[in-house]
């Protein structure tokens, strides 16, 4: 039924899979939107240190919202409808995918990176919140628009089924989604304000110590004590994991801050408001601090320290990030209130 189906879908490479998929799906629907704007109106910026959740036996550190939260926020825009399905049976899930393609509907999927054969072996790991779009099928291969790759890819049916039903943390359960309705004339100003408000509330107003800028400071306090509490070998593993989550999984800390700064700069132009541009400058400085932390942490893990490198100084970089970001979010919350 679905052999040799090819939907004319706009593949564009992106820095982060979910925001890239969101931007590409909306572009297919006729909305001129880039990844930074999709990330911003989707409230994608976040931070959490969750030691009670383990990823490859190491504590979860996330610099973005939970899987699917960005798309969910975009779907709250008036006139937008996001249809989502999960499945318990791989056969039913693949049949449902084939039916969408037969109906000329490109669909987003949540998958496990480890089972996607077009990923280089060195980059495959057990991460189950990777998003991509399927836009066609030729024989036994699906046509994939994976936004972290420069060109479209192909994936055999068996491998895609495995990726859709990968086990472990954040198991995708065959998740499939698409925008069934959009308003091409949606109120961009309102979407921008609501997206910013979501991020500010999560980053500064959460009552939980592990969330937002509080979570950054909590991580900094823990990180200082890792060599003494865990021993140097385990401490290096934990520190390397923080850096990997920051820089390798979905652009991470610095990259997300730069992307959100781009959103603020673009929004400043759209709304003719220089206050957003000033906030973007502050967030760029925070992104630079995250990158400086990552470089120092990598040297510590590889035993290539330079004078001044230490766990204590690495923690100070994170505290500096928290201070810089808190000021940005405070200014943005003031901006949102003034518009209310």
Give residue-wise pLDDT tens across range 277-312.
999 999 999 999 999 999 999 999 999 999 999 999
DSSP strands (E only) in the chain: 5-6, 45-55, 58-64, 81-85, 107-111, 130-138, 141-145, 153-156, 176-181
Tell me the mean pLDDT in the region 102-123.
95
Contact 218, 205 (CB under 8 A): no
What does the pLDDT read at residue 252? 58
Helix axes 212-230, 232-247, angle to 10 degrees: 150
By the 8 A CB rule, do 242 and 250 touch?
A: no
Mean residue pLDDT across the chain = 94
pLDDT 10s digits, 87-99: 999 999 999 999 9
CATH number 3.90.70 is the correct assignment for the domain at 5-33+81-181:
yes
137 pLDDT more than 50: yes
**What's the pLDDT score for residue 1?**
47
**Reduced 3-state DSSP string for 241-254:** HHHHHHHCCCCHHH
Give the pLDDT confidence of 192-236 residue by residue, as tens digits.
999 999 999 999 999 999 999 999 999 999 999 999 999 999 999
* pLDDT at residue 14 is higher than 60: yes
Domain boundaries, the chain: 5-33+81-181, 188-339
**Residue 2 in this model has a pLDDT that exceeds 60:** no
> Which tokens in the block code for residue 118?
């077009």
Q: CA 295, 55, 212, 339: dihedral to nearest 10 degrees?
A: 100
Q: What is the pLDDT of residues 55-103, one digit of tens each?
A: 778 898 989 888 899 999 999 999 999 999 999 999 999 999 999 999 9
Percent with pLDDT over 70 in the chain: 97
């Amino acid at each position: 039924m679905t052999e040799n189906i090819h939907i004319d879908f706009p593949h564009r490479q992106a820095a982060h899979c979910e925001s890239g998929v969101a931007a590409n799906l909306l572009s297919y629907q006729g909305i001129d939107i880039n990844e930074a704007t999709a990330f911003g109106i989707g409230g994608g910026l976040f931070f959490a240190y969750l030691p009670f959740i383990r990823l490859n036996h190491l504590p979860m550190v996330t610099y973005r919202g939970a899987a699917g939260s960005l798309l969910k926020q975009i779907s709250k825009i008036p006139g937008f409808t996001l249809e989502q399905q999960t499945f318990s049976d791989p056969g039913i899930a693949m049949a449902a995918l084939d039916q969408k393609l037969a109906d000329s509907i490109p669909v987003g999927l949540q998958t496990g990176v480890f089972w996607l054969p077009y990923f280089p072996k060195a980059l495959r790991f057990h991460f189950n919140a990777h998003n991509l779009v399927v836009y066609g099928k030729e024989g036994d291969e699906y046509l994939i628009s994976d936004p972290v790759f420069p060109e479209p890819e192909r994936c055999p049916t068996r491998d895609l089924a495995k990726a859709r039903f990968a086990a472990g943390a954040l198991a995708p359960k065959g998740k499939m989604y698409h925008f069934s309705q959009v308003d091409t004339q949606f109120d961009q100003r309102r979407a921008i304000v609501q997206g910013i408000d979501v991020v500010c509330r999560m980053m500064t107003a959460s009552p939980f110590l592990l969330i937002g800028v509080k979570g950054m400071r909590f991580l900094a306090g823990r990180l200082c004590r890792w060599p003494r509490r865990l021993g140097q070998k385990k401490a290096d593993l934990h520190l390397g994991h923080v850096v990997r989550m920051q820089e390798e999984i979905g652009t991470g800390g610095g990259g997300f801050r730069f992307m959100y700064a781009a959103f603020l700069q673009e929004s400043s132009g759209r709304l003719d408001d220089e206050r957003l541009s000033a906030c973007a400058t502050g967030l760029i400085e925070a992104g630079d601090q995250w990158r400086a932390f990552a470089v120092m942490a990598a040297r510590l893990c590889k035993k290539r320290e330079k004078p001044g490198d230490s766990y204590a100084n690495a923690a100070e970089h994170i505290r500096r990030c928290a201070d810089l970001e808190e000021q940005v979010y405070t200014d943005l919350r003031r901006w949102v209130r003034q518009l209310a």
